[in-house]
Amino acid sequence: MKIRMPSYQNLVAIGLLKGSAGVSPAGSVCSMSGGTPDLHAPSRSSALLQKLALLTLCIGASSLSLAQTAWAEQSAISQTATSPNPMIVAHRGSSAQAPENTLPAFQMAWEQGADAIEGDFQLTKDGHIVCFHDKDTKRIAGQPLTIADATLEELRQLDVGRIQPQDSERALRSWSSDQYKGVQMPTIAEVFATVPAGKKIFIEIKCGPEIIDPLLLELATSGLTPDQVVVIGFDSALLKSLKERDPKWQTAWLCSFDKKPNGKPRNAPAKVLKTLKEMRALALMSGGGDVDKGLLDQIRAAGMEHYVWTINDPKLGPTYKSQGVDAIITDLPAAMRAALNAPTNL
Three-state secondary structure readout of the chain: CCCCCCCHHHHHHCCCCCCCCEECCCCCEECCCCCCCCCCHHHHHHHHHHHHHHHHHHHHHHHHHHHHHHHHHHHHHHHCCCCCCCEEEEECCCCCCCCCCCHHHHHHHHHCCCCEEEEEEEECCCCCEEECCCCECHHHHCCCCEHHHCCHHHHHCCCCCCCCCCHHHCCCCCCCCCCCCCCCCCEHHHHHCCCCCCCEEEEEECCCHHHHHHHHHHHHCCCCCHHHEEEEECCHHHHHHHHHHCCCCEEEEEECCCECCCCCECCCHHHHHHHHHHHCCCEEEEECCCCCHHHHHHHHHCCCEEEEECCCCHHHHHHHHHCCCCEEEECCHHHHHHHHCCHHHC
Whether residue 20 contacts residue 32, with contact meaning beta carbons closer than 8 Å, is answered with yes
Mean per-residue pLDDT of the chain: 81
Distance CA 147, CA 217 (A): 20
**CA 120 – CA 277 distance, rounded (Å):** 24
More confident position, 298 or 68: 298
**Cα separation, 96 vs 118, whole angstroms:** 14
Distance CA 209, CA 206 (A): 10
Average pLDDT over residues 54-78: 43
**Contact of 297 with 73, CB cutoff 8 Å:** no
- In this predicted structure, what is the pLDDT of residue 345? 63
Q: In this predicted structure, which of 31-40, 71-80, 86-95, 302-311 has the lowest mean pLDDT?
A: 71-80
Query: Which of 186 and 3 is assigned the larger pLDDT?
Result: 186
CATH number assigned to the domain covering 87-345: 3.20.20.190
pLDDT at residue 242 tops 90: yes
Residue 11 has pLDDT above 80, yes or no: no
pLDDT at 257: 83
Assess whether pLDDT exceeds 90 at residue 204.
yes
Whether the pLDDT of residue 30 is over 90: the answer is: no
Q: Is 233 in contact with 147 (CB distance < 8 Å)?
A: no
Q: Where does the pLDDT of residue 19 fall: very low under 50, low under 70, confident under 90, or very high at 90 and above?
A: very low
